[in-house]
Amino acid sequence: MHEIICPHCSKAFKIDEAGYADILKQVRDGDFDKQLHGRLELAEQDKRNAVELAQAKAASEMQKSAVAKDAEIQDLKAKLDAGEVARKLAVTEALSAVQTQRDALANELEQAKRDKQAAFELAEAKLFHGLQNAAATKDAEIQGLKAKLDATEVIQKLAITEAVGVVERERDGLKGGLARAELEKQLAEQALKDKYETQIKDRDDAIERLRDLKARLSTKMVGETLEQHCETEFNRIRATAFPRAYFEKDNDARTGSKGDYIFRDLDESGTEIVSIMFEMKNENDRTSTKNKNEDFLKELDKDRLEKGCEYAVLVSLIEPDSELYNTGIVDVFHRYPKMYVVRPQFFLPIITLLRNAAMNSLKYKSELALVKAQNIDITNFETNLETFKTAFARNYDLASNSFKKAIDEIDKSIDHLQKTKDALLGTDRNLRLANDKAQDVTIKKLTRGNPTMAAKFAELKSPDHSDPE
């Protein structure tokens, strides 16, 4: 605790450390600010006084310097005027001496100049003649190289034109062959179409004829089995219609089932034309359960596949009242591929139709194979053509590279000739510079800094060394 006495009422009171420190801070801060402002004002006043004093001093010094400079300028002007007069006098004297000396040497220099000019003209004429000969020789070499270059280009263009002509002729021949092949193909297709249409018409006629015989044939088959009837009918025409055909009962039951008959026909070379698996179903063979033709199709297709036959035919008297099967030949491809259901009277016609179709197909396949072979030939020709193009392109690249190398060598020769020409022109420029330097030579320049030569020339000019005559 601190005891403080009030300056107004002279009473004492106590205050803690914090309050005392705060009062001291206020007193100290106020006094400090007052002293600071006073010192700042004094510093400002001192600065203004110093500035004014410096300005006055600078003005005084500038005035003194201006006076001194003016005096110096006047003195220099006087000296300059005196020096100019002296210089003019010296120049006049020197000029007179130089002019006298110049006139004395003018005649000698004129004679030397004429001699030198004659020598230079002679040297220039010889140099120009040499340059013309060199230029003519180089021009002749350049023309020869250009002629060789033109000949090379002509030969190359002729070779390219000939090669392109050969390729174009081969291409035109190939196009003609393709057109002929296309025409022959169209004619063959039209002939096949006409033949099939004729066979279909003949089949329809046969169907109509056989319908008329249906009742009689059905009556005839009552006394014999269907299998015997079909075998008899086939053997009756085997020798004339199918001399190389195989038609026998299927006795191979190793797979668990077997058909009734297998028909196979071969061409002269022993190639199989067509093969048929036959199944015969007679109405009289029915059991008490009424069967349908569809009941036998699955097993027949299985037998066809196991015995390796192309077609399957069900010869049936089942469903005698069905208008579908009574039409004669029914294609059941929607159930099983390459399968037919026929009535007995169509047993031989179905064999004939399938065999003829196979023969025509075989012929068509042969023609197609021929066309494919032609296409292969065309492909081989195109391959050979591409090989030729590749080889030709490679040879062309080699020739082009050689041609470029020749051009580069020609360019190098031209560059060498150009450098030679530039060197000759440089020699001409050096001679011209030498002539200019010779024109600029004087006795005064030669004897400058050489007292011995100056004395010799002075002796020559003296009266004692004049011409005795």
Q: What is the pLDDT of residue 220?
A: 46
Task: Check: CB of residue 19 under 8 Å from CB of residue 27.
Answer: no
User: Distance between CA 231 and CA 122 in Å, rounded?
Assistant: 132
What is the percent of the chain with per-residue pLDDT over 90, rounded to a whole number? 14
pLDDT digits (tens, 9 = 90+) for 38-50: 777 887 787 788 7
**What's the pTM?**
0.35
Task: Check: CB of residue 280 under 8 Å from CB of residue 260.
Answer: yes
User: Distance between CA 425 and CA 371 in Å, rounded?
Assistant: 78
DSSP alpha helices (H): ranges in 5-16?
Answer: none
- Which residues on adjacent β-strands are paired with residue 274? 265
User: Distance between CA 410 and CA 138 in Å, rounded?
Assistant: 12
User: What is the average pLDDT across 449-459?
Assistant: 73
DSSP letter string, 364-423? HHHHHHHHHHHHHHHHHHHHHHHHHHHHHHHHHHHHHHHHHHHHHHHHHHHHHHHHHHHH
Task: Check: CB of residue 367 under 8 Å from CB of residue 188.
Answer: yes
Token match 């005795």: residue? 468
Query: Does the structure show a pLDDT above 60 at 265?
Result: yes
Q: Nearest-CA neighbor of 279 among 209, 211, 350, 220?
A: 350
Task: Check: CB of residue 385 under 8 Å from CB of residue 170.
Answer: yes
Query: Does the structure show a pLDDT above 60 at 337?
Result: yes
User: Distance between CA 326 and CA 342 in Å, rounded?
Assistant: 8
Distances (CA, A) of 430 to 113, 116, 242: 19, 16, 115
Q: What is the pLDDT of residue 216?
A: 47
Q: What is the pLDDT of residue 276?
A: 95
pLDDT tier, 341 (very low <50, low <70, confident <90, very high otherwise): very high
pLDDT tier, 213 (very low <50, low <70, confident <90, very high otherwise): low
By three-state DSSP, how is residue 281 classified? strand
pLDDT digits (tens, 9 = 90+) for 270-310: 888 899 999 998 865 445 567 889 999 999 999 999 999 99
pLDDT tier, 92 (very low <50, low <70, confident <90, very high otherwise): confident
User: Distance between CA 41 and CA 47 in Å, rounded?
Assistant: 10
CA atoms within 13 Å, Cβ hemisphere of 280: 21
The H-or-E segment that residue 90 falls in is helix 17-212
List the Cα angle 190/338/249 in 5-degree steps. Answer: 120
Mean pLDDT, rounded, of the chain: 77
User: Distance between CA 63 and CA 66 in Å, rounded?
Assistant: 5
Judge residue 410's burial from the number of C-beta atoms within 10 Å of its C-beta, 0-12 exposed, 13-18 middle, 19 or more buried.
middle
Q: What is the pLDDT of residue 222?
A: 44
